[in-house]
Structure 1
Amino acid sequence: MKNLFLSAAIVLGGLTSFASTSPITNTIVKTISIQDEYTEIKLEELPTAVTDALKKAYPDAVLSKAYKNAKSEYKLDVTVGDKTGNLFANADGTWIKK
């Protein structure tokens, strides 16, 4: 009778090891954003395609500063009414979403 209880306890004890939960692993994701380095240029150095695109898209916009990066992308500091913001464009006047 003792052997029956002992063997039942061993079998039940062995089954509990299968019921244990696996450890939870946390995955950490790092996001690195690389900012393009823009250098300020004179407004006269801005390509005419960019200035024409600005006049067409925002006729009331006032261009205050212009910047250029190594990929010939332009960052424009623009004021429309009482709002100030940045616009990005390629050398051919195509707008870039950033």
Structure 2
Amino acid sequence: MKKLIFATALAIGSLTAVNAQQDAAIAQASTDEATITKAVDTQETVAQDFKEIKATELPKPVLEAVASDFKGATVSKAYKNAKGEYKVVIATADKKQKTVYASADGEWMKKKMKMNKKSRQ
């Protein structure tokens, strides 16, 4: 009889331990999913932040910065966000495309350029 009670208690204890591990795994998966969702939402916000504009609508300082820093390059596309920052896609003299970011006064924004390192190469 003692063995039967001991075996029952052992079985219940094992099930409780397995259930606790499953709960921990589910909680971890939920946390990982929330982190991934947050990262995707952040990337989409950055990508959707800019609205396309005509290249002729770029401020003169931005156009001058492109002309002086990228000899022979032409502006392919231009975008503007609510902060007054510009995303400029340029075609370089050697027929490569680069995406650069600038403020309204023609200053390059290095932080955003680092985010898009692949597009600059």
TM-score tier, shorter chain, comes to 0.5 to 0.7
TM-score by length of 1: 0.65
Matched, 1:42 2:54: yes
Matched with 1:94 is 107
Matched with 1:85 is 98
Q: State how 1:13-52 maps to structure 2 within 5 Å.
A: 30=35, 32=39, 33=42, 34-35=45-46, 36-52=48-64
- RMSD, aligned α-carbons: 2.0
Distance in 2 between residues matched to 1:82 and 1:44, nearest whole Å: 21
More helix by share: 2
Q: Which has the higher contact order (CA 8 A, sep 6+)?
A: 1
Kindly provide the amino acid, as one letter, of the partner of residue 84 in structure 2: S
Unpaired runs of 5+ residues, structure 1, are 1-25
- Which is greater in Rg? 1
Deviating 4+ runs (over 2 angstroms) = 26-34
- In structure 1, the residue corresponding to 2:89 is in which secondary structure? strand
Q: State how 1:66-81 maps to structure 2 within 5 Å.
A: 66-80=78-92, 81=94
Kindly provide the amino acid, as one letter, of the partner of residue 39 in structure 1: K
More strand by share: 1
Offset of residue 77 of structure 1: 0.9
Kindly provide the amino acid, as one letter, of the partner of residue 64 in structure 1: S
